[in-house]
Structures are given as C-alpha cells and as structure tokens.
Amino acid sequence: MPETGNLLAFALIALGMVLTPGPNMVYIISRSISQGQMAGLISVGGVALGFVAYMLAAVLGITALLFAVPFAYDALRLAGAAYLLWLAWQAIRPGGRSPFQIRALPVDSPRRLFAMGLLTNLLNPKIAMLYLSLLPQFIDPAAGSILTQSLVLGSTQIAISVSVNALIACAAGSIAAFLAARPTWAAVQRWLMGTALAALAIRMATEAQR
C-alpha cells in the first residue's frame, strides 16, 4: 500500500485535474443537458473505462512507448492541444455557446454515448502524462509491492474522477437553468472556460517531451 501522505497528495492532484475544464467535462456536460442525466452518466462510464485502460497500460509499461517514440507522443500531444484550442474558440467566439447552454443535439444511443466517452478520454494526453510522469513520483519501493501501489493510486484517481464527473452530469441541467436566467453569469462562465482551455492547450503544445 502507498504511504498515507503519498496517497493523499496524489488524490489532491487527481481532484485538481478533474476540476480543470477539458474534453471529458465538455462532452459529459453537453450530453447531460441535451439527453438527460442518464446519458451523461453513460458517458461517464466510457470515460471511466478510458481511465482503467490508461492505468493498466501504465502499470504494464505500455504507455511508456508514447514517450519513447517522439513522433507518437508529439502527434498525440499536438492533436490534444488543437482540440482544446478548438473548444476554447467555440466558447469565446462571437455567438459562441457555453457547454452549459441548452441546445438540441442529435440523440445518441447508449452504445455511442459510452464509446464517445471512452474515445474522448483516450485522446486526452493529460491522462497519459498523469500516469507516466506523476504517478511514479508517489510510489515508494520500500513501502511494498510497486504493482500494488500503482493499482491503489490509479484506482484512487479513477474513483475521484468518476465521482466528480458523475456529480457534474447530474448537476449540469440545474447549472444550465441557472445560467440561462442570468446572461451575464453565462458570459463570464464562457470566457473563464475558454481562457482555461486555451491556457491548457498552450501549455500542452509547448511542454517539453518527458
């Protein structure tokens, strides 16, 4: 088992990352508002499976290939940054919409909702970086099995992320109604999210390969 201090520190980092606006959050919110809470929760299930895939890949050392092959990592990193910039522009452009704004979207089947949640998470380079560059810093070989510590830390991150995303899915409708009645708040929310997404994109695009 990881040391208590390491586990708590890693949990705080995981909480901070899930609260940072990103593709997962935007997708879950949009589906929750357009199709209801159940659609949002099904999308969360796909996101959760993506976390499990990354955790197992990191534990088995497969994720390291992204960092060992520069072109593979750079392609994923730049694609992720471009996607975040596109989301930022969609938020702040004239006539742009907040992800919390109620709008009509094509109704997706539960299978597609789950698959899109999974794909959105798998294409998020932040998750690969989390498991390969951050998680090992909280593992102490003297504290026991490295495999066990990795699984416990990874499971903690998944539990935190799924819990927060589920709450977002359930509250998205109420938040959308609140912002719809307060246009100024909605505009501020759009600019805050757009700025945060752009900052993440720039950081991701300029980050040195690890």
What is the residue whose two structure tokens read 């290939």? Answer: 65
Closest CA to 14 of 151, 131, 113: 131
What is the residue whose two structure tokens read 């520190």? Answer: 9
Residue-level pLDDT at 190: 67
- pTM here is 0.66
131, two tokens: 């498991």
Residue-level pLDDT at 210: 44
Residue-level pLDDT at 205: 75
What is the residue whose two structure tokens read 């390491």? Answer: 6
**What's CA 118's distance to the chain center, in Å?**
11
Given a contact cutoff of 8 angstroms between Cβ atoms, the answer to whether 150 and 56 are in contact is: no
Closest CA to 119 of 20, 54, 35, 50: 50
The C-alpha angle with vertex 46 and arms to 156 and 148, in degrees rounded to 5, equals: 30
Residue-level pLDDT at 209: 47
Residue-level pLDDT at 41: 92
Query: How many domains does the chain fold into?
Result: 1
User: How far apart are the C-alpha atoms of 139 and 161, rounded to whole Å?
Assistant: 20
Residue-level pLDDT at 115: 92
Range of the domain at 172: 4-206
**Tens of pLDDT along the chain (210 residues)?**
777 887 888 888 788 777 766 778 778 888 888 788 898 899 999 999 999 988 888 777 755 655 666 676 677 667 767 766 776 776 676 665 555 555 556 778 889 999 988 988 888 776 777 776 667 767 776 777 777 888 888 899 999 999 999 998 888 767 766 666 666 766 676 677 677 767 767 876 776 544
Residue-level pLDDT at 109: 87
Residue-level pLDDT at 45: 93
Residue-level pLDDT at 48: 93
